[in-house]
Amino acid sequence: MVLTDDIGWGTLGAYGGGKVVGAPTPNLDKLARDGIKFLSAYSEPSCTPTRLALLTGRQPHRTGVNVVLWPGQKQGLVAEEVTIAELLRDGGYDTAMWGKWHVGDVYDEQLPHNQGFDYAEYSPYNGAVWGWQDSADYYEKHEVLPGRAPFWLDVPQDYFERFGLEPHFIWEGRPGEKPTKVMPANCETYQDMDTRRTDAIIKYVKDHANSDNPFFIYFPSDATNSVCANNVKFRNLPHVDKANNLAVSLVEHDHNMGRLLETLKETGIAENTLVVWYSDNGPMHGFYPNTGYSHFRGGKGDVTEGGVRVPAMAWWPGMIDSAQEPIDLLHVSDIYTTLARIGGVKDNIPTDRVVDGIDQTAFLLKGEDHSRRDYIFHYSGTEIGAVRIGDLKMHYHGLAGGLPKFDLYNVKRDPREEVSSKIGIYPYLHTSVPFGQLVQVHLDQMQEFPNRKLDPKTGKEIEAERRPTSSWEVGSDRN
């Protein structure tokens, strides 16, 4: 399971980008051609929420973590959440991860080796924090090209010490042991991190190819959330936008994906290995020019299509037919339930809570028109930001004079979500009750299975929410 950072629907060559946007991706384009390329795959709007949805099959508001985590924040996965790694490990899989964890690091229970991974080499936060480590003296160490300097301004050299925070490190952890520091996570070590981690994954694959146990590898690559300077080896390749750190690091990641897929073939296990590649959200436009691109409106943090509609692919020779481009809906939480089904542990998914992920095994194996999903709730923190039903997507803004206020788009006809606000709500008034009824059922479900609630000061669980709230008006006496 490969999860990348901030790759918009339009950055990869297979999605109309590649050399066009200075980031040639021949290996990922081949992965898309040789497998199934999803045209309507959705993530959460930002990195921590998407990781929670993938690992637990639950939209993040249910887990109690509804913010992007930064150093010093105490929220994170609690022991009671059941990750896909825990399910597969208990089902006989060897489990390992390399990459960006970003779902909690303060308490032992939040760490990956205590959430189902037999081995984990992980960095706790996103690529931004890598730059905080040494941006203060970066200009003294390196020749700086336009657009290649650290993004952050005025970060004190003693930032972590001054504010009582743990400096950013790459860690290594195993169950039953205290994690150990591997190396500082800074702009120096960032340069070839994706390559070094791919080296370790390739070794793991070779060591386990003939094992009696199947394996599950989670590779949430740090590479493409790139505010540090980029790898010189890939910066100077043809057609690469060398001043764009994300473009350069994506080219490096593309190279490493080619190496990884070739290893699966060389070891003779390609036909017995499912590879899923997914982006965690749309491009981070605030990092311009170190950023990706989307054909859609918006980006990271938005519930418009540019923020949540992302490139995603699956490859499984002999099982998934090649050259598929289905338009059916897929949500990142579906990966949890689907991997559990394929791994033979679906019956062990907890039944005492809501799991949002839908089993999409038939979609993987049979292709277009076999998705079992026809609606998606797009959350922005604790609030419902938008709802999609079929081809229609509503952004709701409350009531005015007794009439609902909303923007509603047919995203097949208008995938950039630009027309509705110009024509007004009246052509779509007939949708307000069906959408409201779906939201009502959703909120009623939370009454029966309340969201987990964590104290932001301590990160510990407190009394569950009994009255979930939303800005959506779904009845005469209730929000």
pLDDT one-digit tens code per residue, 278-305: 999 999 998 888 889 999 999 999 999 9
Q: Is the pLDDT of residue 341 over 60?
A: yes
Q: Is the pLDDT of residue 438 over 50?
A: yes
Tokens of 318: 């002999």
> Is residue 384 within a helix (H) or strand (E), and if so which, with residue range?
strand 383-389
Q: Average the pLDDT over 131-135 and give the result.
A: 77
Q: Average the pLDDT over 214-235 and give the result.
A: 88
pLDDT band at 195 (very low <50, low <70, confident <90, very high): very high
pTM value is: 0.94
pLDDT, position 151 = 60
Q: Average the pLDDT over 162-170 and give the result.
A: 90
Largest CA distance in the chain: 68
Q: Which of 184, 186, 187 lies closest to 144 in space, CA to CA?
A: 187
Tokens of 282: 């749309």
Residue with tokens 């009502």: 440
Q: Is the pLDDT of residue 474 over 50?
A: no
Tokens of 279: 């982006």
pLDDT band at 476 (very low <50, low <70, confident <90, very high): very low
Q: Which of 78, 57, 64 lies closest to 382 in space, CA to CA?
A: 64
- Residue 469 exposure: Cα atoms within 13 Å on the Cβ side: 2
pLDDT, position 478 = 29
Q: Is the pLDDT of residue 102 over 60?
A: yes
Q: In terms of DSSP H, where are the helices of 167-293?
A: 187-190, 193-208, 232-235, 245-266
Span 370-427, pLDDT tens digits: 999 999 999 998 899 999 999 999 998 887 888 788 899 999 999 999 998 788 888 8
pLDDT, position 301 = 94
Q: Average the pLDDT over 84-104 and give the result.
A: 97
What percentage of residues in the chain have a pLDDT greater than 90?
76
pLDDT band at 477 (very low <50, low <70, confident <90, very high): very low
The full DSSP string for 419-476 is: SHHHH-SGGGGGGHHHHHHHHHHHHHHHHHSPPPEE-TTT--EESPPSS---S---BT
How much is the mean pLDDT over the chain?
91
What percentage of residues in the chain have a pLDDT greater than 70?
92
Q: Is the pLDDT of residue 142 over 80?
A: no
- The per-type count for the chain, helices as H runs and strands as E runs, is 15, 16
pLDDT, position 127 = 81
What letters, b where the CB count within 10 A reaches 16 and e where it falls short, cover 330-360? bbbbbbbbbbbbbbebbeebeeebbbbbbbb
pLDDT, position 145 = 52
Tokens of 423: 């024509």
Residue 46 DSSP label: S
pLDDT, position 416 = 96
CA torsion 316-317-319-321 (nearest 10°) is 100
Q: How far apart are CA 399 and CA 383, in angstroms?
A: 16
Q: Is the pLDDT of residue 475 over 50?
A: no
Q: Average the pLDDT over 134-139 and give the result.
A: 64
pLDDT band at 89 (very low <50, low <70, confident <90, very high): very high
Yes or no: say if 198 and 260 are a contact pair by the CB < 8 Å rule.
yes
Query: Strand runs (DSSP E) across 107-238, as ranges?
Result: 119-123, 169-173, 180-184, 215-220
